[in-house]
Chain A
Amino acid sequence: MDHATQLRSATADAGVLLEARELSFAYAAGLPEVVRGASLALRRGVLAALIGANGSGKSSLIRLLGGIARPSRGEVLFDGVPLRSLEPRARARRIAYVPQASAGVFPLTALEVVLMGRSPYTSRFRFENERDIAVARDALAAVDAAHLAARSVTELSGGERQLVALARALAQEPECLLLDEPSAALDLKHRAGLVRHLGRLRDERGITALIVTHDLQLLDPAFDQVFAMRDGAVVAAGTPAEVLRDEVLAAVYADEHVRARQAFGRTFVWSE
């Protein structure tokens, strides 16, 4: 971290890592805005979720937060610094983004894919060195996928592919992970496993993570923060206990049949 960054982050709210201020975004000029004045503050070192109905702008918002897309209005602050002032490769060393799972076309090995996460650290004409390979193998091991290293990604199951994508993001050695619907393609066991991995990364490495999910059962008690979107804006934010309530969810999903009940130390959510 250079001196200027240090100064600025000292003046910013020390507890907030990633902040969105009144973001708006449309895919092209003339098209309707999919994000409309969305604001949120993601605290450092937490596991957080972004929920909301289909088409509410979750994926677009997380792409804005990751710097993959630029907001038409508003600003993203990362560690107190405007995100757009970061050079893309410098940004990639601090924020890792995992898009919705895609199968891929070319039969790269899992290790080759994870090594791509090292590209923000290597120069244009260098291949990855010993340390990069060690980091990549460590990243695979951190998500219990070391055994997949030599397998071709086109042959992996959806769950295995998700783990490889997560390992690729970890290989970037980021402070912040942004995942777009990582649990969508996963079965019961792998969903729980993914949340366990993210919790462990938070506890052991202090990695902040924000995931887009429809899986409301996962949130309590594993998550620290929940943001709920409706019509392109963040309409509710807080702990899972604060957001997972009948009246809040009814407003978020525009569905008065949603119920949230606590039992066995967790919150169950369903729609009648």
Chain B
Amino acid sequence: MLLALVLAVSTVVALWAGYAPIAFADLSGDEMARLLFFRLRLPRVLMAGMVGASLAMVGASLQALFRNPLAEPLTLGVSGGGALGASIAIAFGFGAKVAGVPFIFLAAFAGSGAAMLVVYRLARTGAVVMPGALLLAGVVLNFVAASFVVIIQYFTDYSRALQILRWTIGSLDVVGFDLIWRMLLFLVPGWITLALMARDLHLIALDEETAESLGVNVRRSERLVYAASSLIVGVTVAVGGTIGFVGLIVPHAVRLLFGEDVRVILPCSFLLGAAFLMLADAVARTVLGVGELPVGAITALAGGPVFLWLLRRQQRLAAM
């Protein structure tokens, strides 16, 4: 309830804020205002909401799956993999489609999926996964992916290189309703899969063997979460670039507010994630006055300290 309210308020604020503030009264009369509002601002705010909800939900799911409060698409390298896939797609040209699906979606999905597979393999080698090892692997994956992206930029022409650069930091710039429908086609199945897994994830978050003994098919749930997460992250990265730390900040804010039940955390992260990225994007659009910041820079600025705070708290717990 509270979160639905937060989401509603954020939507209105995000719709209002912008380089040219639009008074809602003008919408009935002013043709220019109407065009600006419906063609640019509304789709963009919707996009921010979808991406934010997706990233937060994936973050919450991965934290439960790996029993690691620091897990999220960026820290596990899944975003990096997606970014590499998308860069390859951009280098080869934006427009290509395979059976009506933008090539960049597929490439980014493949990239996230590959990164997820590496993390999965690593998590499965031993009976115990060192939480640190998982995050280190994520960092390394991000580095490797980033190096490849740089190399690709080197070998493509100037305008495409700039496109890649702008897009890797994370921005919700590119928008139109058409793209939103196409994204939803991929995101909705992903969202539903994660929502269906909420109960299993709640038990897995305690410990895998206990979950198994309570009747959860842990391997199957795990694979479904991996697949859904790669799909969601791939599509959002393809459109918005690597927008980091949303999947970290939002689920932890939800935890502080509503406790540790994953069945509560998942839907709440979905709503709060949408609100959070809409507001972050509104800040990105307005803070400079003229021009705009990439929204990825805003979320990283907010998320970095949260990550460090969580790390410190975890170390204190481990020391106890």
Contact = CB atoms under 8 A, between A and B. Distances in A.
Q: Do A and B assemble together?
A: yes
Interface of A: 63, 66-68, 87-92, 95-99, 102, 104-109, 112-113, 116-117, 119-120, 124-125, 127, 154, 165, 168, 172
B260 A107 contact: yes
B29 interface: no
B199 A97 contact: no
What are the 7 A-B residue pairs with the smallest beta carbon separation, nearest first?
A89-B215, A97-B213, A88-B215, A92-B215, A99-B209, A108-B260, A105-B67
B228 to A, nearest CB: 16
A116 B206 contact: yes
Interface of B: 67-69, 131, 196, 199, 202-203, 205-207, 209-210, 212-217, 255, 259-261, 263, 317
B213 A116 contact: no
Contacts of A172: 214
Nearest to B131: A105
Nearest to B314: A105
Contact of A119 (B199, B207, B212, B217): B199
Residue among A90, A105, A108 facing the most chain B CB atoms (10 A cut-off) = A105
Contacts of A124: 196, 199
Given A88-B215, A99-B209, A107-B260, A116 B68 contact: no
Given A68-B209, A96-B213, A106-B260, A116 B203 contact: yes
Contacts of A125: 199
A67 to B, nearest CB: 8
Contacts of B217: 88
A154 B320 CA distance: 10
Nearest to A107: B260
Given A88-B216, A106-B255, 8 more contacts: A87-B215, A88-B215, A88-B217, A92-B215, A104-B67, A104-B206, A106-B67, A116-B203
A66 B214 contact: no
Given A88-B215, A127-B263, A168 B205 contact: no
B123 to A, nearest CB: 14
Residue among B131, B212, B213, B216 facing the most chain A CB atoms (10 A cut-off) = B213
Contact of A112 (B68, B207, B212, B260): B260
Residue among B67, B212, B259, B317 facing the most chain A CB atoms (10 A cut-off) = B212
B134 to A, nearest CB: 12
A91 B67 CA distance: 25
A92 B203 CA distance: 13
B125 to A, nearest CB: 11
Contact of A116 (B202, B209, B317): B202
A168 B215 contact: no
A223 B186 CA distance: 57
Contact of B214 (A102, A105, A112, A120): A120
7 contacts: A99-B209, A106-B67, A108-B260, A116-B206, A119-B203, A120-B214, A154-B317
